[in-house]
Amino acid sequence: VQFGCLSVMVLGMKEDVEVAWLWSYFSGYYFTPVFLQLPTDVVPLHYDLDLQPNLTTLKFTGSVKIVVSIIQVTWKIVLHSSGLNITKATITSAGGSQAKPVELLEYPLHDQIAVMAPEALLVGQNYTLNMEFSANLSDTYYGFYKISYEDEKSKWLAATQFEPLAARSAFPCFDEPAFKATFLIKIKRDEQLSTLSNMPKKATTPVTNGIVQDEFFVSLKMSTYLVAFIVGDLKNISKETNGTLVSVYAIPQHLNQVGYALNTTVKLLEFYQKYFLINYPLEKLDLVAIPDFQAGAMENWGLITFRETTLLYDNQASSARDKKLITAVIAHELAHQWFGNLVTMEWWNDLWLNEGFATFMEYFAMEEVFPDLHSDEDFLNLIFKAMMKDSLNSSHPISSVVQSSEQVEEMFDALSYIKGASLLLMLKQYLTKDVFQAGVEIYLHNHSYRSTKSDDLWDSMNEVSILDALLITNGTLDVKKLMKTWTLHKGFPLVTVVRRGRNISVQQEQFLYRAEPENWTSPARLLPPYY
């Protein structure tokens, strides 16, 4: 393709537009592709990430080594980077000792970069991509961001919020949930501060005068949006349960308010391990109250971050409502350690697999472990609010097509969380609690450290042998066929039953709020009750 005196070779196509983004490298020529996702010809296996945040200049520098495997022969590696100043990039072949420089092309519209290899990258081979970079700590509560708070004097803390699309603003990476890999993280810091990350700390070594480096153990396979690290002045209390050290952190003046969260976490962690029949797989679990945090909480594996109001409980000043909120948020984020972290949705169109399940387990666990909080009443109120949104023409299926960053953000709504949870409650009541629990166990065991689609959950439910006894008119119940009518369609049905003498007629139509509903019939022959 010729641009004046410049030329670019189109290196390959995927669904006709794979490399259209390369054209944006040439000034004035933009072509927006119809997809957001990265090509799958290269997959990451492991990251070595080395960072040095400076809480005086409020900048950070870093380097990353990404070991990748080649699935299809290619001359390029496409990955994500946003707002990073990449100062050096090289590639090393497996067993090779010489790092070869590479050219970088950028497509800022989709936060993508392409590493143009000096030679063909061969199928089945591993290569190591090395990059050095720098950036400002973010001031948007997103990515690797800075936090100012008062503790006798003004202090700074740096923390991360990567879900859904911000890991790419802290280090170049394959920033999609299906690209799971292991991570070895090293962070340089002022010796007066401390660092936390997903894994336990392995070693601390001096670097220069007043600067030390913390190295953490290699992580389990996980998605980039679950990577987390914090640098600041934090204190904690801890308790061990079933081989896991549970710790709750806060800034020093709030340490006296973390006791309730610690005891609650231990009780809920024990409940989930018993219910799922899968132990929490890490040696530690940290919960951190962040002084300035936009989200309610974030389920980073092994390092859950919270607003202070959703984690800290003051025995003298906090209310019963505060206690219920803190319990609910902890229950939700702990459920994510299995639904989202251990097993992750393949793409953001199935976000409900993460959020719907975590919301369902949040209320289920609270009823089982803390019945005195009467959380079932709160869940019922939320269901009615979600039904109100679902009764509007602007509603969407809980499993929807997602092709842009804006659409990814839009999936984080009441439908993914509450309607998703409602469907699971409905299915649990319909299949019976034992069948449902067995299906959940199969789902988690079959897909641990992998990514899934909604169909994988329904297939797991269908595997449960007890389902053979649940017969409908023409054969065995097909959970997948049944539940797709709820996940792939927006809205919910209004069923009208009319009795005239001994005759009963049933009519089903979509319920629309303040609108004349059109005739609407689900393709399902059998619908469970909607709770």
Q: Identify which of 416, 390, 272 has the alpha carbon closest to the alpha carbon of residue 341.
A: 272
Which ranges of 9-141 does DSSP label H, i.e. alpha helix? Answer: none
Which ranges of 136-249 does DSSP label H, i.e. alpha helix? Answer: none
Q: Do 213 and 205 contact (CB within 8 A), yes or no?
A: yes
> Any known ligand binding at 332?
yes
Cβ neighbours around 170 below 10 Å, total:
31
Q: What's CA 128's distance to the chain center, in Å?
A: 26
Q: Do 379 and 363 contact (CB within 8 A), yes or no?
A: yes
What phi-psi label fits residue 234: left (phi over 0), alpha (psi between -120 and 50 degrees) or beta?
beta
Tell me the residue type at 480: K
Residues facing 146 on adjacent strands: 158
Contact residues for 275 (Cβ-Cβ < 8 A; gap 6+)? 365, 437
User: Nearest 10 degrees: CA dihedral of 137, 139, 145, 148?
Assistant: 100
The CA distance from 170 to 82, in Å, is 8
Q: Mark whether 333 is an active-site residue.
A: yes
Q: Identify which of 70, 89, 71 has the alpha carbon closest to the alpha carbon of residue 81.
A: 89
The CA distance from 84 to 81, in Å, is 6
Q: Do 369 and 268 contact (CB within 8 A), yes or no?
A: yes
Q: Do 359 and 383 contact (CB within 8 A), yes or no?
A: no
Q: Identify which of 397, 392, 449 has the alpha carbon closest to the alpha carbon of residue 420.
A: 397
The helix (H) or strand (E) run that includes residue 421 is helix 420-431
Catalytic pick among 176, 333, 346, 377: 333
Q: Identify which of 391, 206, 228, 249 has the alpha carbon closest to the alpha carbon of residue 298.
A: 228
The CA distance from 207 to 3, in Å, is 48
Tell me the residue type at 55: L
Q: Identify which of 23, 20, 47 has the alpha carbon closest to the alpha carbon of residue 36.
A: 20
Task: Write down the residue that tokens 């909607």 correspond to.
Answer: 530
The CA distance from 191 to 518, in Å, is 67
Instruction: Say how many residues make up the chain.
Output: 531
User: Interior CA angle at 481 toward 478 and 487, to 5°?
Assistant: 130
> Any known ligand binding at 80?
no
DSSP assignment of 312-366: ---TTT--HHHHHHHHHHHHHHHHHTTBTTTEEESSGGGHHHHHHHHHHHHHHHH
Q: Do 457 and 443 contact (CB within 8 A), yes or no?
A: yes
Q: Which residues are annotated as a binding site?
A: 332, 336, 355
Annotated catalytic residues are: 333
Q: Which residues are annotated as a binding site for Zn(2+)?
A: 332, 336, 355
